[in-house]
Amino acid sequence: MSSASQASHCPSNARVFSGPGAADTTVGTMVKQGVAAEDVLAESPAYQRSHWLRDTAEAVRTASAELARLITREGIKTIREARGEVTRAATTLEIAAEEALRIGGETLAFDRTVAGDNRSGWTTQRPVGLVAAITPFNDPLNLVAHKVGPAIAAGCPVILKPHGRTPGPARRLRELFLESGLPEHAFQVLDDTSADAGDELVRHPAVRMLSFTGGRAVGAHIATVAEGRPVSLELGGVCASIVLADADPETTPDRLASGMFAAAGQNCLHVQRVLVATPVYEPVLERLTALAQEIRTGDPMDENTDMGPLIDDAAISRCEAFVSDAVQRGGHVVTGGKRLARGFQPTILTDTPADARIVREEVFGPITVVERIDSVDDAVARLADAEASLATAVFTRSLAPPFTLRRLRTGCIVVNDSTDFRTDDMPFGGPFPAGRSREGVRHAMADMLETQVICLNFN
């Protein structure tokens, strides 16, 4: 496998790390403050943590217009997409509030053995301690909520390092938490965007758990320096959607197009490959092309804009490089393929060989390759040659194909929705190298809790 095929363009935090550097007093002070908050949170009753989360969720809903504008000004979403993210963030915090009340344990039957005679016991779940979390630019509020919400629910203080281009939503969320009564150092936002600051944070021995969403190079670094500590990594990959001959011809293209171009393709669940059965290939391609050409680009604050910008010039250049590589290898640009002032046209490619970058590497832009297949087995054979993914989708009226897809190394199999379908309580992630562990509130909390056993001897 080439080094290029191992790369990931999931929302990158490439400047977060550059190896060990001089100690940063800001990081050191924040860690000290976070450690001091461990006992305060760990001993706070579950109902209190739930109240903090629920009250903050309500505050997020109240400030929704302000937060949506902030997301749009700093990042890559249209104002309509940003409103949706705010709603999801509030929901994520509400789910965390519910899960804070569900942390429990189990009784243990010690008398299964002679040694356990006249003894009893139970388990409890205790917070691991200080959590370090790093988030990308593409969901600067809801992905923050997905790390902070579970941490507070579990009783863990958290230091969050947002992406340097989109820190505003994280800072505002912290203010709302404090206004809801959360202890001051239970949630801190690291504003230092230097390379050494992030490295010092994840290396600090007082940090007990690491949670990261972003590029694979940084994820691999975090896994190395974790040294046995719990780690949650969401590192992206190439997601594929399969359209079989019996798929609903009315709803399938629209659901695919949403996953292809939402957030201008800057989504870890972006529909990058669409594998279409020969009998429906032409009509599906025709409809997808028409939908791509209808997408309105422009000012993301304009209510009529459908697709916003890419995060920076490097992201635009990467899209150009992917298209150029595909064309040089014999691929065909059906629509799009050109840079815009702040982004890239909605683009569909066909006739692209298996060794093209768009087939093997995550583009993190509004580009999708449409491929012709003979059957679901043909699709599985092609995808089995690819790296693990976060999700794989299939459009069909049959129950058999989803079971066939279980052979693939994928974190989620979606039936009759595109790969970008997600609810905020479902387990989210993929097999290595797409990630490690799972997000989704209850599942993220599992990495932030430790089992403790209490044994009673009545002899």
Can 10 be counted among the known catalytic residues?
no
CB distance 118 to 446 below 8 Å:
no
Longest dimension (CA), the chain: 80
**Token pair of 111, please?**
């008398």
Q: Which of 99, 234, 362, 439 does the annotation list as catalytic?
A: 234
Distance CA 116, CA 105 (A): 19
| Torsion, CA 94, CA 95, CA 96, CA 101, rounded to 10 | 100
Specify which residues 206 forms β-bridges with.
Answer: none
User: Phi and psi for 306 in degrees, rounded to 5?
Assistant: -95, -30
E strands, 93-186, are: 107-108, 119-127, 131-134, 158-161
Distance CA 363, CA 361 (A): 6
Helix ranges restricted to H, 295-404: 313-328, 357-360, 376-384, 400-404
Place of tokens 């990630």: 435
Specify which residues 277 forms β-bridges with.
Answer: 373
Nearest to 100 by CA among 182, 201, 161: 182
Place of tokens 């932030």: 448
**Which of helix, strand or coil describes residue 26?**
helix
User: Phi and psi for 417 in degrees, rounded to 5?
Assistant: -140, 155
| Residue 401 preceded by cis peptide, ω within 30 | no
Terminal-residue alpha carbon distance, the chain: 62
Q: Which of 10, 156, 239, 268 does the annotation list as catalytic?
A: 268
Q: Catalytic amino acids?
A: 234, 268
